[in-house]
């Protein structure tokens, strides 16, 4: 999150553009300043899908929208799949196809353009292992195009993948590794996969965000590294992420806000108690929560106990969504045969 928005969104610890938009709407509702125009200037929101896969598309179209959401201009697509953690084969395939469809809407590639997929994160820490796991399930084909071109079916694109690790493992900034690979391979597109942070537990491992603006690894957990974007790499970057952690202070803050809303709903408007609740400063409240939590571990993040099983399933969803989007005329049987 850029410097000019960090103060504005002190109480919103999230990588999801949709959640910042939702928080803005909550703030407008609480302040009583809602207008006939439902969204901030420069922010367009459309919704699609059903109860199994709900798609929200947030498009930031101006600097005013950047200021409102705290992210660069571009497209942010969120797929909410409440039952994604369940072992449901039909839902699994539907979600893979939904990811592929949304990704294809952002692709601007020629048939033989090379794509580099970057699996960001630390494979030794389960909530941060999404990127490397996705990379391991991809149909990587660039070497086949180079050494066995006669064996490559029509519609199979040159795809390569890397899991560069993190600074603490390699001693090298991830962005420097990726820049070196991009300079050597010269892909037409980079797809970066990373674990994200959410402000809601019900979005952990059930939400997928796709963005065409690049990514700043580690920003959701306060460990922001150099960004991967068209500006820094010289080629377009699409970022795909899944929330795997929630900031503990954000969880506590949201819980207290729900309590305050409930108290206000049962208080007499105009009373001293009602005015006190309405005038509580959200940033001050968030800072107080962080101060209280500091002696018990400081910058805490929370993740579910079943993360090991779920992260593997979610990684396959993301990987196969990419496989289906990048390679024409293939289906799940082709992917399974390739990965055996």
3-state secondary structure of 207: strand
267 phi and psi angles, rounded to 5 deg: -105, 155
CA dist., res. 216 & res. 249, Å (int):
22
Cα torsion 197, 198, 199, 203: sign: negative
Beta strands in the chain (DSSP E): 43-49, 54-60, 74-80, 115-120, 159-165, 189-198, 207-211, 237-247, 301-302
3-state secondary structure of 220: helix
3-state secondary structure of 35: coil
Buried-exposed string 94-111: b where 16+ CB fall within 10 A, e elsewhere: ebbbbbbebbeebbebee
CA dist., res. 340 & res. 336, Å (int):
6
Angle at 315 between CA 312 and CA 321, to 5 degrees: 145
pLDDT tens for the chain, 340 residues long, are 333 233 334 455 688 989 888 877 777 666 665 554 456 688 999 999 999 999 999 999 999 988 888 889 999 999 999 999 888 999 999 999 999 999 999 999 998 899 999 999 999 999 999 999 999 999 999 999 989 988 888 889 999 999 999 888 899 999 999 999 999 999 999 999 999 998 888 899 999 999 999 997 655 445 556 889 999 999 999 999 999 998 777 777 777 777 888 888 888 887 888 777 777 666 666 666 767 666 665 567 788 888 888 899 999 999 999 999 999 888 888 888 777 6
Residue 240 near residue 210 (C-beta atoms within 8 A): yes
Domain regions of the chain by residue span: 3-250+299-339
For the domain spanning 3-250+299-339, the CATH number is 3.40.50.1450
Q: Which two tokens stand for residue 240?
A: 């795909």
Residue 191 near residue 322 (C-beta atoms within 8 A): yes
DSSP string, 128-173: G-HHHHHHHTS---HHHHHH-GGGPPTT---EEEEEEE-HHHHSS-
């Amino acid at each position: 999150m850029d410097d000019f928005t960090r103060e504005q969104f002190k109480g919103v610890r999230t990588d999801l553009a949709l959640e910042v938009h939702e928080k803005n709407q909550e703030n407008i509702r609480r302040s009583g300043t809602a207008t006939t125009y439902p969204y901030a200037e420069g922010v367009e929101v459309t919704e699609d899908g059903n109860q199994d896969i709900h798609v929200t598309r947030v498009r930031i179209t101006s600097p005013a929208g950047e200021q409102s959401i705290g992210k660069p201009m571009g497209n942010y697509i969120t797929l909410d799949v409440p039952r994604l953690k369940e072992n449901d084969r039909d839902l699994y395939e539907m979600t893979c196809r939904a990811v592929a469809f949304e990704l294809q809407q952002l692709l601007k590639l020629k048939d033989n353009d090379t794509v580099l997929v970057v699996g960001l994160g630390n494979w030794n820490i389960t909530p941060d292992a999404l990127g490397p796991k996705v990379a391991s399930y991809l149909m990587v084909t660039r070497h086949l195009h180079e050494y066995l071109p006669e064996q490559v079916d029509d519609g199979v694109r040159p795809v390569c993948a890397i899991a560069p690790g993190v600074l603490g493992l390699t001693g090298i900034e991830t962005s420097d590794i990726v820049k070196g690979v991009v300079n050597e391979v010269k892909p037409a597109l980079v797809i970066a996969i990373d674990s994200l942070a959410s402000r809601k537990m019900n979005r952990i491992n059930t939400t997928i965000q796709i963005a065409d603006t690049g990514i700043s690894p580690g920003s959701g957990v306060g460990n922001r590294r150099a960004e991967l974007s068209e500006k820094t790499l010289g080629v377009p970057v699409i970022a795909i992420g899944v929330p795997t952690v929630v900031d503990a202070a954000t969880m506590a803050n949201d819980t207290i806000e729900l309590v305050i809303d409930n108290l206000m709903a049962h208080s007499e408007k105009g009373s001293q108690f009602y005015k006190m609740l309405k005038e509580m400063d959200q940033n001050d409240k968030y800072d107080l929560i962080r101060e209280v939590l500091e002696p018990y571990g400081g910058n805490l993040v929370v993740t579910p106990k079943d993360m090991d099983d779920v992260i593997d399933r979610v990684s396959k969803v993301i990987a196969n969504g990419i496989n289906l989007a990048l390679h024409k005329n293939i289906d799940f049987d082709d992917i399974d045969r390739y990965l055996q």
